[in-house]
Amino acid sequence: MIEGRVQRIAGPIIRVAGLSGAGLFDVVEVGEKRIIGEVVRLEGTEAVIQVYEDDTGMRIGAAASSTGRPLSVRLGPGLIGTIYDGIQRPLEFLFKQSGAFMDPGARGEPLDASRLWRFTPDPGLAEQIARGALPEVRPGAVLGTVQETARIQCKIMVPPNFQGGTLMELVPEGEYTCDAVIGRTAQGEEIPLAHWWPVRTPRPNGKRLAPDEPLVTGERVIDVFFPLSKGGTAAIPGGFGTGKTMTQHAIAKWCDADVIIYIGCGERGNEMTDVLTEFPHLIDPQTGRSLMERTILIANTSNMPVAAREVSIYTGVTLAEFYRDMGYHVAIMADSTSRWAEALRELSGRMEEMPAEEGFPAYLPTRLAEFYERAGRVRTLSGAEGSVSIIGAVSPPGGDFSEPVTQHTKRFIRCFWALDRDLANARHYPAISWLDSYSEYAEEVKPWWERVNPAWPQVRQQALDLLKKEQRLAEIVRLIGPDALPDDQRLILLTAEIIKDGFLQQNSFDPVDMYCVPSKQVRLLELIMEFHERAQRCIKLGAPLIKITALKGSKGMFFLREQLSRLKSEIKNDDPQGFGEFEGHLRGALEELERTYRTRGAL
């Protein structure tokens, strides 16, 4: 162990003499309380350390010692359902130990060392060892399984940083702690139930695959208009109060990922408290059990040390890669990367580095790229298929999308869900702007959607084009009023309102509308666009728009256009035939109107 003495203290940045033999990014323990830090720069005989805890009371001359290993997280059964801070300390355990405020130097095992897990060895490997035909195992090989939760089966694999070789021993089925060795190779490697992995080092994979399968979120504006692939990257930028956190909550609850990792990175304490109190009570719609049985929470609020905030996203993505390597699809919610960038800015200032635009360090784009590039859909070392999808919230000051974090983030993501303050003020949720948002995954997921409904690409493009036309007409309407427009242009305004109210807007308190299956999403939009096309033909034949808006719905209770907006709540996800009656009435009413005016034209 290399030891040194503290020479200078500047907030979370400490200079230590005598640690010249330490490696970059090695973990260091500083002072009597053994505060955890990390070597971020080496200058001659001095090491610059950023500490992850409150160092109030630290003195010049205090002892510091290097552990000789980089900052790492422990990976094994027991991660699911746990609440950690940015450096994988279990917050529930530390709360019982020191109360509401964590003591500097507080320690807690990332995985409960006393808990027993039932390990079931791989039958094929166990059978080969029993008859003396010792198998060869490589990194990523699955040696057995542990049932971590009712939904998640933790696969115990040869760690990627092991060499592997001839498997000499594999323990029988039984209950073991995380410290137990469950296998040994002829090369002398002991394979544990849980292992350590450095957070800044991406876990290797076999092959990267094309992101051609969407991450279904149940949010129509996302899935149909701006889809995100499994293994894709997305950003949700928006000012205060536009619904970034609530959009991420909805995606976390309803998306078809197997594992959710929620990183509260520098957010306000009350927002993170809501997450910590609500998530354990939310029900996973796919299993009917607690959502926490597929969720890991990382809480690093704005009043916690900034250095831990900076490393928290690396901790989260490393946990995600661990489950990806088992063949699971993992979704990361990072809320928010702006607070993470602010932590970088503060640490950079403390280290007296040259600032770039708006005071952020010049390496901000590099750090953002390092984070987002760890997403992807891959073939794992064991041959399974898994993915890590990253959805990062961005909080630009004043909602200004031209600020550095938003602009640099756009360079490294392929899906941009821009939140609009006017929509949020109008209580239109999700407040995702259909004019400023985009998705580069639309072409790649097109074959998947065409298997759901071949009409998807056509109606999607028609609806987007119509909304753009409506935006241009809205500027004219503000000057001269809607009555001055011809009927064909007023029809565009009418259909756009139906799309906004009956398709894009979603009610999270409505038991039917809170989640929408892909087939229902396309059918809703398909019916709206069919209404527009048929109404357009009637207007060309001379029918006034007022005749179209006066058409009654299938049950006679509402006008046809009103019923179109209500279908989202009236037809359940498991009732695809429910569209039949309305579709027949829609076509019949507009065809009759079309025949009437076609006959008049012939006369």
Q: Determine the longest span between alpha carbons in the chain, in angstroms.
A: 103
For 2-70, CATH number? 2.40.30.20
Q: What is the band of 498 on the pLDDT scale with cuts at 50, 70, 90? A: very high
Classified by CATH at the fold level, domain 75-109+206-443 comes out as Rossmann fold (3.40.50)
At 603 the pLDDT is: 47
Strands 385-394 and 233-237: parallel
Strands (E) in 22-128, as ranges, are: 26-30, 35-43, 46-51, 63-70, 72-75, 83-84, 117-121
Angle at 192 between CA 189 and CA 198, to 5 degrees: 90
Alpha carbon 72 to chain centroid distance?
Answer: 22
At 556 the pLDDT is: 66
| Average pLDDT value over all residues in the chain | 91
Tell me: the pLDDT tens digits for 427-456?
A: 999 999 999 999 999 999 999 999 999 999
- Name residues whose C-beta falls within 8 Å of residue 427's C-beta, 6 or more positions apart in sequence: none
Choices 3.40.50.620, 2.40.50.100, 2.40.50.140, 3.30.470.20: CATH for 117-193 = 2.40.50.100
- In this structure, what DSSP letter does residue 194 have? S
Cβ pair 551, 535 in contact under 8 A: no
For the chain, helix (H) and strand (E) counts, in that order, are 17, 26
Helix (H) or strand (E) holding 191: strand 190-192
- In this structure, what DSSP letter does residue 556 have? S
Q: What residue segments make up the domains of the chain, in order of their start? A: 2-70, 75-109+206-443, 117-193, 453-602
Residue carrying structure tokens 């010792």: 134
Tell me: the pLDDT tens digits for 153-206?
A: 999 999 999 998 899 999 999 999 999 999 999 988 999 999 999 999 999 999
For 453-602, CATH number? 1.10.1140.10
Give the integer Cα–Cα distance in Å for 409 and 364.
Answer: 10
Cβ pair 130, 122 in contact under 8 A: no
Tell me: the pLDDT tens digits for 356-401?
A: 999 999 999 999 999 999 999 999 999 999 999 999 999 998 888 9
Q: What is the band of 272 on the pLDDT scale with cuts at 50, 70, 90? A: confident
pLDDT for 465 beyond 90: yes
Strand, coil or helix: what is 419? Answer: strand
Reference 375, options 327, 439, 329; nearest CA is: 329
At 287 the pLDDT is: 73
Query: Which is higher by pLDDT, 428 or 600?
Result: 428
Handedness of CA 534, 538, 541, 545 (dihedral sign): negative
In the beta sheet, which residues pair with residue 14?
Answer: 9, 49
Cβ pair 122, 143 in contact under 8 A: yes
pLDDT for 219 beyond 50: yes
Strands (E) in 373-447, as ranges, are: 376-379, 385-394, 415-416, 438-439
Give the integer Cα–Cα distance in Å for 463 and 475.
Answer: 19
Give the integer Cα–Cα distance in Å for 280 and 285.
Answer: 14
Cβ pair 242, 424 in contact under 8 A: yes
Tell me: the pLDDT tens digits for 500-545?
A: 999 999 998 899 999 999 999 999 999 999 999 999 999 999 999 9
**In the predicted model, what is the mean pLDDT of residues 550-574?**
85
In the beta sheet, which residues pair with residue 117?
Answer: 176
Query: Is residue 349 classed exposed, middle or buried when 0-12, 13-18 and 19+ CB atoms within 10 A define those classes?
Result: middle
Give the integer Cα–Cα distance in Å for 301 and 12.
Answer: 16
At 602 the pLDDT is: 54
- Model-level pTM? 0.93
User: For the chain, what percent of residues have pLDDT higher than 90?
Assistant: 67
The two three-digit tokens of residue 86, written as one number:
């940015």
